[in-house]
Amino acid sequence: MLKIENLHVKVDGKEILKGLTLTVAPGEVHAVMGPNGSGKSTLANVLAGRPGYEITAGSVTFQGRDLLALAPEERSREGVFLGFQYPVEIPGVNNVYLLKAAVNAARKHRGLDEVDAFEFLTLVREKMRLMRMEESMLSRGVNEGFSGGEKKRNEILQMLVLEPRLAILDETDSGLDIDALKIVANGVNTLRSPERSLVLVTHYQRLLDYIVPDHVHVLVKGRIVRSGDKSLALELEKRGYDWVTGEAA
């Protein structure tokens, strides 16, 4: 599904990712953990195609194609989804309009007709119920005036409607209360399937109780310094990053 090899990335002339290698097979869930500033969001952004990152070495292949050669909108249409750590507010752009435009962009890409308006709304409403979101949020501006937790739920709603092949969720659990965490995790789990892969960036092992990962990686200073199974997250929680950074140093 996704193959990242020896990825080096600079931001404003400063190297942030320093030779990152990661392979995600179809159906797998990978958790990426690591201290603040270690480069987790940089990785997520680079995969989604955000401008401002200079890739100085390495490669990323997604379903056999050079992902880095695609424009951000093409990556999305090919099935890459980024759940933002800080979803931006876009007043005046209607939530439901964005959803529909996004769905239609992906459908057009696959040679399908535009989605039927009624069916679309039925689907969106169903997903909203799953995310326990007020229907009135649909007619508001994208994330406009949403609380931190509501924004994260909205990201997951978009993901559920778009049904990506690869979802990268950047700290979707941060800022969620206990109930919301379960709702979000439940939403994510409905999407798990043998054809779909997930990369979860998180600071908290609690999320991984609900969305059980196949692999856990620790990112420190732009490199994956340790990988393991779910027990690695538990151990990190107990011993802190010093444990791995100490080893890495």
Partner 1 sequence: MSSAALSKRLLDEYLAVRDSLPAGVVSAERRHEAIRALAARGLPTARDENWRYTNLRPLERARFVPAVSAAAAALPEAAVLPAVLDGFARYVFVDGIFAPQLSSPGEQTGRGLTVRHLRDTAERSTAPSGATTVRPVARALPTAVGSLPEARLALLNEAFATDTAAIHVSGASDAWQRVELIFIAAAGADAGASYPRVHLALDPGARLALVERHLSAAGGAQFVNSAVSVQVGQGAQLNHYRLQKAGVRSTWLDTLSAVLSADARYRLLAVNSGGLSARGTTHVQMAGPGAELTLSVAALGDKQQVQDHFALVEHIAPRARTEQTFRGIASGRARVAFNGKIAVGEAAAGTDSRQSLRGLLAGPEAEIDVRPQLEIYTDEVRCSHGATAGKLDKDMLFYLLSRGLSDEVAQRLLKWAFLEDVVSRIDIPGLRRQIEHDLAGQMADAASLKELL
Ligand X SMILES: Nc1ncnc2c1ncn2[C@@H]1O[C@H](COP(=O)(O)OP(=O)(O)OP(=O)(O)O)[C@@H](O)[C@H]1O
Q: Is 36 in the site for ligand X (CB under 6 A)?
A: yes
Question: Which residue from 41, 197, 202, 205 is in contact with ligand X, where contact means CB under 6 A?
Answer: 41
Q: Which does 174 bind (CB under 5 to 8 A by kind): Mg ion, ligand X, partner 1, none?
A: none
Q: Is 87 in the site for ligand X (CB under 6 A)?
A: no
What is the nearest approach in angstroms of ligand X to the Cβ of residue 82? Answer: 13
- Tokens representing residue 230 in the block: 């779910």
What is the nearest approach in angstroms of ligand X to the Cβ of residue 219? Answer: 7
Q: Is 1 in the site for partner 1 (CB under 8 A)?
A: no
Question: Which residue from 16, 47, 68, 181 is in contact with ligand X, where contact means CB under 6 A?
Answer: 16
Among the listed ranges 27-35, 133-141, 200-208, 231-239, the one in contact with partner 1 (CB under 8 A) is: 133-141
- 40 versus 151: smaller Cβ distance to Mg ion: 40
- 32 versus 133: smaller Cβ distance to ligand X: 32
Question: Which residue from 21, 25, 37, 73 is in contact with ligand X, where contact means CB under 6 A?
Answer: 37
The DSSP code sequence of the chain is: -EEEEEEEEEETTEEEEEEEEEEE-TT-EEEEE--TTSSHHHHHHHHHT-TTEEEEEEEEEETTEEGGGS-HHHHHHHTEEEE-SSPPPEEEEEHHHHHHHHHHHHHHHTTPPPPPHHHHHHHHHHHHHHTT--GGGGGSEETTT--HHHHHHHHHHHHHHH--SEEEEESTTTT--HHHHHHHHHHHHHH--TT-EEEEE-S-HHHHHHS--SEEEEEETTEEEEEESHHHHHHHHHH-THHHHHHH-
What is the nearest approach in angstroms of ligand X to the Cβ of residue 34? Answer: 6
Q: Which residues contact partner 1 by CB under 8 A?
A: 48-51, 71-73, 75-77, 82, 84, 87-88, 90-94, 96-98, 100-102, 105-106, 109, 117, 121, 135, 138-139, 141-142, 158, 162
